């Protein structure tokens, strides 16, 4: 059966602090994981991903595995940095493919750059080693092309730059099609909620999930304001929006999450999260905990992040200038006026941590104390002030296993092996200079 393989090219492999612990296929853009988005856009399953060697044992529930051996003939290899638009533009892409008229190459619109190609022969995974092979090199010179509308993620901060427009587009798609993995039906908000604006407000009804288990619909307590003036709002099954919360669209709340109060605006909150306090223009990938007050804005929280009470991110310089952000190639001007913190998977902060504008907190880092951390903290760092100690692997895995068990997720032997590989492949400030 024809399937998609999502390819992390060399640029994607520099998207820290996330690339150390996960492929781009398992990153959320807008309201949707890249894996789910490509499946919906092309109407084909994703069979695996092609990424850096240290992700070979990556494993999460429902995620695909890293491709091994060969990519079968007839497969679609897609650049994972491209975010297909799920509304009308994507539907035109399927037509040449479904007609069987030999279309092999998908180009981005606008721009015309190659984003995906259907292979004509089996290709060894090593063909893409290092991430330097453009996908259009796989196509025959006479390949027919179709256009695919969407966004290129040229830099890691583009997840924040494009969040409001991607969220708005995704929520229109969800309104018309339901949740991408099926089973979601939406109802109007309850009468006791205050609804503002004309954009859609989608509240999940009871639905069936895998194994025919019934998932309760979203619960909205009294004294909740759903402000759809600037964009749509969607609240997933099993989630609860507690009293004295104001959701400001465009805004997405995944399944089994709890929004515990204050203002959440232009944000994408994944499955199984706890969020309290003011949040703005932020993606929370899933299974993360911000259970206390403290402003978080224009930020991205990886999976299993835990923010201590009173953790605050700055997202605007007091000079009102553009924000520079550390990258493996050195500090770069993002040309964005608003940018907070990028939190790698399993990153944790202590009580009262203050993070300056444009901070990168590496995967597995655990920082605490009254001192403001530097603008970049290397992965698996531990301590209250730099120079930080290295978080011992055995201690890190012990804490990760304990935290995951609280959310009824098992840290499998394979996942432990992948985190150990990430620990071994971690970058340091010295290695990145």
> Is 6 within 8 Å of 50 (Cβ atoms)?
yes
Task: Report pLDDT for 145.
Answer: 84
Task: Give the model's confidence band at 24: pLDDT under 50 very low, under 70 low, under 90 confident, else very high.
Answer: very high
pLDDT digits (tens, 9 = 90+) for 308-338: 999 999 999 999 999 999 999 999 999 999 9
In whole angstroms, give the CA distance from residue 417 to residue 14.
22
Options 3.90.550, 3.30.1370, 1.10.390, 2.60.40; which CATH number does 4-154 get?
A: 3.90.550
Task: Report pLDDT for 95.
Answer: 40
pLDDT digits (tens, 9 = 90+) for 369-381: 989 999 999 999 9
Output the CA–CA distances (angstroms, integers) from residue 63 to 49, 58, 227, 257, 258, in the order listed: 10, 9, 33, 20, 23
In whole angstroms, give the CA distance from residue 117 to residue 249.
35
Residue 111 has pLDDT above 50, yes or no: yes
Task: Report pLDDT for 146.
Answer: 87
Write the CATH number of the domain with boundaries 160-432: 2.160.10.10
Lowest average pLDDT, out of 89-98, 104-113, 243-252, 407-416, goes to: 89-98
Average pLDDT, the chain: 91
What angle, 0 to 180 degrees and rounded to 10, lies between the N-to-C axes of helices 34-42 and 88-99?
Answer: 60
In whole angstroms, give the CA distance from residue 200 to residue 171.
9
In whole angstroms, give the CA distance from residue 399 to residue 347.
11
What are the extents of the domains in the chain?
4-154, 160-432
pLDDT digits (tens, 9 = 90+) for 227-271: 999 999 999 999 999 999 999 999 999 999 999 999 999 999 999
Residue 383 has pLDDT above 50, yes or no: yes
Residue 2 has pLDDT above 70, yes or no: yes
In whole angstroms, give the CA distance from residue 81 to residue 24.
7
Which of 377, 303, 300 lies closest to 340 in space, CA to CA? 300
In whole angstroms, give the CA distance from residue 145 to residue 201.
37
Please list, in sequence order, all residues whose beta carbon lies within 8 angstroms of the beta carbon of residue 381, skipping any fewer than 6 positions away.
362, 365, 366, 367, 388, 389, 390, 391
Give the predicted TM-score (pTM) of the model.
0.94
- Cα angle vertex 379, ends 374, 381, to 5°? 65
Average pLDDT rounded to a whole number, residues 328-357: 97
């Amino acid at each position: 059966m024809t399937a998609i393989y999502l390819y992390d090219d060399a640029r994607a492999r520099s998207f820290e602090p996330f690339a150390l612990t996960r492929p781009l296929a398992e990153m959320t853009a807008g309201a949707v994981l890249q894996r789910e988005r490509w499946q919906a856009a092309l109407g084909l399953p994703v069979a695996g991903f092609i990424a850096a060697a240290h992700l070979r044992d990556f494993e999460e529930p429902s995620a695909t595995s890293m491709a091994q051996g060969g990519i079968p003939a007839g497969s679609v290899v897609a650049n994972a940095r491209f975010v297909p638009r799920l509304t009308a533009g994507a539907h035109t892409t399927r037509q040449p493919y479904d007609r069987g008229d030999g279309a092999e190459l998908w180009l981005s619109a606008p721009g015309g750059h190659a984003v995906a190609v259907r292979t004509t022969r089996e290709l060894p995974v090593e063909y893409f080693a290092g991430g330097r092979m453009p996908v259009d090199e796989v196509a025959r010179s006479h390949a027919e092309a179709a256009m695919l509308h969407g966004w290129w993620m040229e830099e890691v901060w583009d997840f924040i730059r494009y969040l409001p427009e991607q969220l708005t587009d995704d929520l229109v798609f969800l309104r018309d099609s339901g949740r991408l993995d099926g089973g979601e039906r939406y109802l109007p908000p309850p009468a006791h909620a205050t609804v503002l604006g004309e954009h859609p407000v989608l509240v999940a009804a009871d639905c069936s999930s895998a194994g025919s288990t019934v998932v309760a619909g979203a619960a909205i307590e009294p004294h909740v304001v759903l402000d759809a003036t600037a964009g749509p709002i969607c609240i997933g099954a099993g989630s609860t929006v507690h009293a004295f919360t104001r959701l400001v669209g465009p805004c997405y709340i995944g399944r089994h999450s709890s929004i515990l109060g204050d203002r959440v605006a232009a944000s994408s909150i994944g499955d199984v999260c706890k969020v309290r306090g003011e949040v703005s223009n932020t993606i929370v990938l899933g299974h993360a905990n911000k259970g206390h007050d403290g402003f978080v804005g224009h930020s991205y929280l990886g999976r299993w992040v835990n923010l201590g009470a009173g953790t605050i991110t700055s997202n605007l310089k007091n000079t009102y200038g553009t924000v520079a952000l550390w990258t493996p190639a050195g500090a770069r001007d993002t040309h964005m006026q608003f940018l907070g913190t990028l939190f790698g998977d399993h990153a944790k902060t202590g009580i009262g941590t203050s993070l300056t504008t444009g901070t990168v907190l590496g995967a597995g880092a655990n920082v605490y104390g009254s001192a403001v951390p530097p603008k970049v903290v290397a992965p698996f760092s531990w301590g209250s002030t730099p120079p930080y100690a290295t978080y011992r692997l055995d201690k890190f895995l012990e804490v990760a296993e304990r935290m995951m068990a609280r959310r009824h997720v098992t840290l499998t032997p394979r996942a432990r092996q992948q985190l150990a590989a990430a620990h071994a492949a971690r970058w340091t400030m010295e290695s990145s200079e």
